[in-house]
């Protein structure tokens, strides 16, 4: 999508032809005190030429990569983050266009304590940099016939909503909330940040898995508690937020209901970009570097050990340890070159179940819809059938279910005065569907617009000021994601924990994985937890003799 890319790592301001706005770009080398175009750029290499710390390279600056960089900095490494795009954040990239700000990807912050930990590790307070606001109701679900369900963290309010829709399911709701907590205690609190690189860990976790019915899927588990179809939908759709099909995702993900209630649903004022900048600032304060416009072409391996990277264009950077936050399919399928792979072979990658992709439309309007909440699910006429189409048949259906983000409900800074900033997304099959998105995108966008206009945004047609789209092709070409999957590997039981690509690479020594494709999985809490796993696996820098210099 971004054209006019400068030389690898060069300090240039890019003009995105689709956006009409310049983005500050991380310079390759800049002194700590030099003014930079964005807080999110840093390099202290020049200011600390005698830096003798062992060198860690992190490939990719998604939330997982940034969190790993902070933790490696705390463990004594000199850290360099290499990012293909012109700004950090990965899926949490920010588009700025015609006075509107659009968070490209994640919008819902749950488990903010995992973010706070990064600030604490650096001896700072997140509140000094980030203005986090609690959102309640969390979201509204609008069913196809216009009926709505408002989902709140307040138990009394939530029970009243259940009673209004299906009083016969009130007892089931109470049981569900209780059981969701039990699953959360084990699957999230005990296991999310545990390294699953040894079979023994899986064996030890197995009794709990059986007791909590992790072998079942979310839909069937939820159906034990609710008889009303709407409530079954409302309490089972959560795996979609992390790329899973509720019909096949392990019932462990029923934990999300409790996670939301326990920690709340939050928004960072200024959008996700503020959080990305905040974490990048931590890396800067540790003397780390984020180098944008820098695509890693190959991980260099000698005698079975990773020792550096070759950047597109030929530059070689040596490292004592390497962490890949790039897509796992890309890391194993492309970045290891001819290095033989024992487990994650091309065949295994091809046969794996990759998550669905997304169609995302960002748009700004010349008016506001005050009655529309910050987060709304606009459901279509089908649920199970639509999921089958997306995940099993890889068929792009005419109908869809949508998630609508209206950050201006909380944060007026995301749009010019009197305007609304939106994005709407529809889960769609990944690129195995064969859909030619270059041809299809505009008609699909129009259908989405029509649906919004007839449901929650009446009068939308004449009020659009600015518009931008992402399709599965962007996930593949821009973020280098296997088959354009939006959330890497699907969170099925046999692609979770020990079965997922390990955080300590099974293929190459000195290589670690962080982010959506490794344990525990996608979503901000997941990828932040994967950085905690790395923290447990990587040797303390003090135990290494630095082999390489800047
Ligand atoms: C539209 C959307 C909405 C979402 N909503 C939510 C939400 O509300 N809440 C939530 O918790 N989660 C949400 N998610 C999921 C969440 O955003 C992701 O799971 C998470 O951000 C992924 O982080 P990551 O660490 O895996 O890295 P990614 O964000 O995937 O970033 C990886 C980075 O690596 C870079 N890279 C790749 N290859 C190379 C290479 N060879 N060289 C250099 N750099 C490379 C890429 O450019 C990218 O910047 C959403 C996702 C999407 C797409």
Question: Which residue, by CA, sits nearest to atom 49 of ligand 1?
Answer: 90
Task: Write 228-235 long-range contacts (CB < 8 A, 24+).
Answer: 228/165, 228/166, 228/168, 228/169, 229/383, 230/143, 230/147, 230/149, 230/165, 230/166, 231/149, 231/162, 231/165, 231/166, 231/169, 231/173, 233/141, 233/143, 233/379, 233/383, 234/141, 234/149, 234/151, 235/176
Given this model, what pLDDT does residue 146 score? Answer: 97
Strand partners, 238: none
Ligand 1 contacts CB of residue 279 (under 6 A): no
* CB distance 195 to ligand 1 below 6 Å: no
Locate the ligand 1 atom nearest the alpha carbon of residue 110 and give its number: 11
Neighbours of 22 (CB within 10 A): 14
Q: Is the CB of 518 under 6 A from ligand 1?
A: no
Cβ(139) – ligand 1 distance below 6 Å: no
Atom of ligand 1 nearest to the CA of 104: 1
Burial label, 429 (beta-carbon count in 10 A; 0-12, 13-18, 19+): buried
Rg of the chain on CA atoms, in Å: 23
What does the DSSP 8-state code read for residue 109? Answer: B
Among 115, 468, 523, residue to substitute to test ligand 1 (most atoms within 8 Å of Cβ):
523
Ligand 1 close to Cβ of residue 523 (< 6 A): yes
* φ/ψ of residue 517, rounded to 5: -85, -5
pLDDT of residue 19: 29
E strand or H helix at 346 = helix 346-351
Could you tell me whether strands 55-59 and 321-324 are parallel, antiparallel, or unpaired per DSSP bridges? parallel
Q: Is the CB of 90 under 6 A from ligand 1?
A: yes
Atom of ligand 1 nearest to the CA of 515: 26
Task: Identify the residue whose C-alpha is closest to ligand 1 atom 5.
Answer: 106
The residue among 393, 389, 382, 395 whose CA lies nearest residue 233 is: 382
pLDDT of 202: 86
pLDDT at 544: 82
Atom of ligand 1 nearest to the CA of 335: 41
Cα–Cα distances (Å) from 289 to 44, 62, 88, 312, in that order, read: 6, 15, 11, 18
Collapse the DSSP code of 223 into the 3-class scheme (helix H, G, I; strand E, B; otherwise coil) and give the result: helix
Q: What is the dihedral of CA 512, 518, 524, 528, to 10 degrees?
A: -40
The reply to whether ligand 1 has any atom less than 6 angstroms from the CB of 135 is no
**Given this model, what pLDDT does residue 24 score?**
33
Select from 1, 5, 40, 60 the residue to mutate for testing ligand 1; criterion: most ligand atoms less than 8 Å from CB: 60
How far is ligand 1, taken at its centre, from the CA of residue 220, in Å? Answer: 29
The pLDDT of residue 424 is 98
pLDDT, block means (10 residues), the chain with 550 residues: 32 29 31 31 40 94 98 97 98 98 97 97 98 97 97 95 97 95 90 89 86 90 97 96 95 92 96 98 97 98 97 97 98 96 97 98 98 98 98 97 98 98 98 97 98 98 97 98 98 94 98 98 97 96 68
**pLDDT tens digit string along 154-181?**
999 999 999 999 999 999 999 999 999 9
| Longest distance between any two alpha carbons in the chain, whole Å | 70
Residue 546: per-residue pLDDT: 55
Which residue among 5, 8, 62, 118 has the greatest number of ligand 1 atoms within 8 angstroms of its CB, and so is best to mutate?
Answer: 62
- As a whole-number percent, the residues of the chain with pLDDT over 70 amount to 90
Q: How far is the CA of 105 from the centre of ligand 1 (A)?
A: 8
For residue 98, report the distance from its CA to the centre of ligand 1, in Å. Answer: 25
What is the side-by-side strand order in the sheet with 139-142? 148-151, 139-142, 375-378, 402-405, 420-428, 357-365, 464-470
Strands 78-82 and 55-59 come out as parallel
Q: Is the CB of 521 under 6 A from ligand 1?
A: no
Q: What is the pLDDT of residue 298?
A: 98
Write down the pTM of the prediction: 0.91
The reported pLDDT for the residue numbered 198 is 85
Ligand 1 atom, smallest distance to 425 CA = 1
The answer, yes or no, to whether any atom of ligand 1 lies below 6 A from the CB of 42, is no
- Residues 245, 488 contacting (CB under 8 angstroms): no
d(CA 293, CA 351): 32
Instruction: Report CA(62)–ligand 1 centroid distance (Å).
Output: 5
Q: Is the CB of 516 under 6 A from ligand 1?
A: yes
Considering only CA atoms, which residue is closest to atom 50 of ligand 1? 106
Q: What is the DSSP letter of 390?
A: I
Rounded to 5°, angle at Cα 40 from 313 and 300: 30
Q: What does the pLDDT read at residue 547? A: 58
Write out pLDDT tens, residues 392-417: 999 999 999 999 999 999 999 999 99
Give, in degrees to the nearest 5, the angle at Cα 150 between 149 and 155.
115
Ligand 1 centroid to residue 94 C-alpha, Å: 12
Q: Does any ligand 1 atom lie closer than 6 A to the CB of residue 186?
A: no
Ligand 1 atom with minimal separation from the 516 CA: 26
Other CB atoms within a 10 A radius of the CB of residue 209 amount to 20
Q: Is 143 left (phi over 0), alpha (psi -120 to 50) or beta?
A: beta
H runs (alpha helix) in 15-111: 63-74
Compute the residue count for the chain. Answer: 550
Residue of 59, 91, 486 best suited for mutating to test ligand 1, as the one with most atoms within 8 Å of CB: 91
Ligand 1 center from residue 326 Cα (angstroms)? 9
């Amino acid at each position: 999508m971004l054209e006019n890319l400068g030389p690898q790592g060069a300090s240039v301001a890019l003009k995105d032809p689709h956006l009409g706005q310049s983005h500050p770009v991380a310079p390759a080398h800049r002194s700590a005190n030099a003014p930079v175009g964005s807080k999110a750029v840093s390099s202290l290499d020049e200011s600390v030429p005698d830096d003798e710390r062992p060198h860690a390279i992190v490939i990719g600056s998604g939330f997982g990569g940034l969190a790993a960089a902070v933790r490696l900095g705390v463990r004594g490494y000199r850290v360099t983050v290499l990012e293909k795009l012109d700004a950090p954040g990965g899926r949490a990239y920010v588009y700025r266009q015609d006075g509107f700000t659009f968070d490209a990807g994640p919008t819902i912050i749950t488990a903010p304590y995992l973010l706070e930990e990064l600030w604490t590790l650096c001896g700072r307070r997140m509140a000094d940099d980030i203005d986090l606001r609690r959102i309640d109701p969390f979201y509204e679900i609008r069913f196809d016939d216009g009926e709505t369900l408002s989902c709140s963290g307040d138990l009394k309010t939530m029970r009243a909503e259940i009673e209004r829709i299906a009083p016969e399911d009130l007892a089931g709701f109470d049981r569900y909330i209780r059981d969701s907590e039990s699953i959360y205690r084990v699957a999230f609190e005990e296991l999310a940040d545990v390294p699953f690189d040894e079979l023994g860990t899986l064996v030890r976790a197995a009794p709990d898995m059986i007791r909590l019915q992790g072998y079942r899927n979310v839909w069937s588990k939820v159906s034990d508690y609710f008889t009303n179809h709407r409530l079954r939908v409302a309490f089972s759709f959560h795996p979609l937020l992390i790329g899973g099909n509720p019909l096949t995702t392990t019932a462990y993900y029923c934990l999300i209901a409790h996670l939301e209630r326990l920690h709340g649903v939050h928004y960072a004022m200024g959008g996700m970009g503020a959080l990305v900048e905040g974490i990048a600032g931590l890396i800067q304060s540790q003397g780390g570097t984020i180098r944008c416009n820098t695509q890693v072409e190959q991980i260099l391996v000698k005698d079975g050990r990773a020792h550096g990277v070759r950047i597109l264009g030929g530059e070689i950077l040596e490292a004592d340890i390497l962490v890949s936050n790039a897509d796992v399919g890309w890391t194993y399928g492309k970045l290891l070159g001819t290095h033989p792979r024992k487990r994650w072979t091309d065949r295994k990658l091809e046969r794996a179940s990759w998550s669905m992709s997304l169609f995302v439309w960002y748009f700004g309007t010349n008016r506001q819809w005050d009655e529309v909440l910050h987060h709304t699910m606009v459901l279509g006429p089908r649920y199970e059938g639509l999921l089958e189409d997306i995940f099993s048949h890889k068929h792009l259906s005419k109908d869809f279910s949508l998630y609508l983000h209206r950050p201006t409900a909380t944060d007026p800074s995301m749009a010019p005065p009197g305007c609304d900033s939106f994005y709407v997304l529809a889960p769609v099959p990944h690129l195995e569907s064969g859909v030619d998105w270059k041809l299809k995108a505009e008609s699909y966008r129009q259908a989405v617009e029509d649906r919004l206009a007839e449901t929650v945004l009446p009068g939308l047609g004449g009020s659009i000021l600015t518009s931008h789209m992402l399709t599965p092709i962007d996930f593949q070409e821009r973020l280098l994601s296997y088959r354009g999957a939006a959330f890497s590997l699907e969170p099925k039981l046999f692609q979770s924990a020990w079965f997922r690509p390990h955080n300590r690479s099974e293929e190459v020594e000195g290589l670690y994985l962080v982010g959506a494709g490794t344990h525990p999985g996608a979503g901000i809490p997941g990828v932040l937890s994967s950085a905690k796993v790395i923290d447990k696996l990587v040797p303390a820098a003090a135990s290494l003799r630095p082999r390489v210099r800047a």
